[in-house]
Amino acid sequence: MYWENELETLKRNDLEKLQFKRLKSTIQSAMNSPYYGNLYKQMGLSADSVRSVSDIQKLPFTTKQNLRENFPYGFLGLPTKELIRLHSTSGTTGNPTVIFHNRHDIDSWANLMARSLFCAGVRDTDVFQNICGYGLFTGGLGFQYGVERLGCLSIPAGAGNSPRQIKLMQDYGTTAIHAIPSYLNRLYEVFLEEGLDPRKDTKLHTFVIGAEPHTEGQRRRIEEMYGVKAYNSFGLTEMNGPGVAFECTCQNGLHIWEDAYLVEIINPETLEPITDGEVGELVLTTLDRQAMPLIRYRTRDLTRILPGTCACGRTHVRLDRITGRSDDMFIVKGCNIFPMQIEGVLMKVPEVGADYLITLKTIDGNDEMIIEVEVKKDWFNGDISRLDKLTKQLTALIRDEVLVKPIIRLVEPNSLPKPEGKAVRVKELRIAL
């Protein structure tokens, strides 16, 4: 039933006891790092400051800014001799975010990944193709180690080159895949171009999709295109990478592994805890990391804890689908808008194709939101009135959702730019006044 029967179904109070024990040792090892060591000493804090899990609220938050300012070694509590790997984000703006791991950390992460995959129904009988960049990016090696731990036949395919991806699937009878959702839309186009139907011409049945925000509608479309079940996978480099929270086969939210991560949801403005299941910023503390523990890390990701228990029997709480980061939000004409609100509307309209792009632009001194929307293949038959009707329909639907009237531009299938990595949903071209 489970990868780790006991740990995954621990009674809540036993889980809390385990968290408490691990929180104390996490604080102890964090204090070996220059950053936490100095900060906590200054504030008079130590492992003895917490007498229960909820006492974590006495400790200060850690931010991406803190990580950047103490780049590269300020959060490190162990000598280099003990370390066996580092991963980092691209760092296009300022210092990259780098996380160091010792042997224990890599082992623990591989186990969490295997647990996550098992939870989504992947088994050692599967042939698993990891369509994802290897190297410093965590999705490559993170999945690789998990898939091997689970015992699948792994195909470390890497990213890109769709015809080769399809060939691999056909040569080796791939049954399970990990990829980012926006790429799966592109890959489908290549299947069609080659005269293939993934539902008939492959053995695919399980997809693991994540690393970027996507809506329920997007998931359903991917499931239909490929004839598979697709499960949501969430993680971030600061918390190892993938394997933080994962959907089980019930597909009703992502179990977050609470023996390894202490979960808080806070109001990002007041920084007060949110306890009633409302949406707020996810704050995480590592509970099983030795080289570089992070305490109360502000992920900037927005989500909520789902009420109730899951039919699968796992006791670890479930996060709602992550709607994006607080910094994904943009403001047009005084309205706060998240790209996923727009995607949510678009994906429900059958005529809409795979991709869209939001451009914010100053036109005649006004902020405008232009949304380019790909239509489905073969939908446009030369009848201009169809374009007009769909444009009006989308304009109204989006205005109702976000309270700003967009400028809708219908474009041909596959005509919007496709970035190499994660999808770019918003282009900011407004002139600052």
> 40 or 257: whose CB is closer to ligand ADP?
257
The region of 169-177, 207-215, 265-273, 405-413 touching ligand ADP under the rule CB under 6 A is 207-215
Across-strand partners of 358?
371, 426
Cα 154 to Cα 315: distance, rounded to the nearest angstrom: 29
Q: Which one of ligand ADP, K ion, Zn ion, none is in contact with 124 (Cβ closer than 5 to 8 A by kind)?
A: K ion
Q: Is 295 exposed, middle or buried (CB count within 10 Å of its CB: 0-12, 13-18, 19+)?
A: buried
Q: What is the 3-state secondary structure (H, E, C) of 379-399?
A: CCCCCHHHHHHHHHHHHHHHH
- Residue span 121-150 as binding mask against ligand ADP, x where in contact by CB under 6 A, dash where not: -----------------x------------
Q: Is 306 in the site for Zn ion (CB under 5 A)?
A: no
Q: Is 340 exposed, middle or buried (CB count within 10 Å of its CB: 0-12, 13-18, 19+)?
A: buried
Which strands make up the sheet holding 366-375, listed edge to edge?
Answer: 407-411, 366-375, 352-363, 426-429
Q: Is 301 in the site for ligand ADP (CB under 6 A)?
A: yes
Helical spans, DSSP H, in 96-226: 103-119, 138-150, 162-172, 181-193, 198-201, 216-226
The region of 65-73, 124-132, 233-241, 285-293 touching ligand ADP under the rule CB under 6 A is 233-241
> 289 or 314: whose CB is closer to Zn ion?
314
Contact 224, 201 (CB under 8 A): no
Q: Is 232 in the site for ligand ADP (CB under 6 A)?
A: yes
Q: Is 237 in the site for ligand ADP (CB under 6 A)?
A: yes
- Residue span 308-347 as binding mask against Zn ion, x where in contact by CB under 5 A, dash where not: --x-x-x---------------------------------
Nearest distance from residue 210's CB to ligand ADP, in Å? 3
**Residue from the set 236, 398, 408, 423 that interacts with ligand ADP by CB under 6 A:** 236
Q: Is 217 exposed, middle or buried (CB count within 10 Å of its CB: 0-12, 13-18, 19+)?
A: middle
3-state secondary structure of 54: helix
Q: Which one of K ion, ligand ADP, Zn ion, none is in contact with 233 (Cβ closer than 5 to 8 A by kind)?
A: ligand ADP
Report the site for Zn ion in 210-249 (rule: CB under 5 A): 248
> 263 or 375: whose CB is closer to Zn ion?
263
> 120 or 236: whose CB is closer to ligand ADP?
236
Cα 100 to Cα 78: distance, rounded to the nearest angstrom: 9
Q: What angle do CA 178, 179, 184 make, to 5 degrees?
A: 125
Contact 62, 294 (CB under 8 A): yes
- Residue span 249-268 as binding mask against Zn ion, x where in contact by CB under 5 A, dash where not: -x------------------
Q: Which residues bind Zn ion (CB under 5 A)?
A: 248, 250, 310, 312, 314
Q: Which residues bind ligand ADP (CB under 6 A)?
A: 89-90, 138, 210-213, 232-237, 299, 301, 322, 325
